[in-house]
Structure 1
Amino acid sequence: MDAEISKLEQQVEQLVSLFEAERSENRALRTRVAELEGANRRLKAKVDAAAARIDEVLQHLPQVS
């Protein structure tokens, strides 16, 4: 009986350890996702601004008949 309890205790400790490791990794991944989403928003703004400048330049080009 003591051996079974000891084995169960060891399994619970392993499970808790795995849970804590996964929770830590999940936290790190959420932080990384937030950083990448911010970078993505900044890059999209740059692309949108470049597209607007290109459109403006195209509006000023003479029409070819």
Structure 2
Amino acid sequence: MQAFYNYSADMESDLKALEDKVGELVKLYHAVRSENLQLRQELAQSRDESRLLKEQMSKAGSRIEALLSQLPEGSL
């Protein structure tokens, strides 16, 4: 019977260690999930800003071309 008691104590110790590891894994999962959501939001915002800047550059290029076309020949 003593051998069974030691086995149970060892098993209990192993289960507690496993429980602790699973708890840490769950915490890590939630932290990574939260960080992933934040990064997705930042990426979406960066894409929006990039799109806006491209539009502004295109408009500026068009304005410069229009101004250049108004200059008399040979003035450059």
Report if TM-score (shorter chain) is over 0.5. Answer: yes
> Per-residue deviation at 1:46?
0.7
Which residue in 1 is equivalent to 2:34?
Answer: 24
Unaligned 5+ residue runs, structure 1? Answer: none
Unaligned 5+ residue runs, structure 2? Answer: 1-10
Q: Distance in 2 between matches of 1:32 and 1:14?
A: 27
Task: Could you list the structure 1 runs, at least 4 aligned residues long, displaced by more than 3 angstroms after superposition.
Answer: none
TM-score when scaled to structure 2? 0.81
SS in 2 for 1:64: coil
Which residue in 1 is equivalent to 2:61?
Answer: 51
> Per-residue deviation at 1:6?
0.2
Q: How many residues align?
A: 65
Identity of aligned residues (%): 38
> Per-residue deviation at 1:2?
0.3
- Which structure: larger Rg? 2
CA RMSD of aligned residues (A): 1.2
Q: Distance in 1 between matches of 2:54 and 2:30?
A: 36
Q: Distance in 2 between matches of 1:8 and 1:63?
A: 81
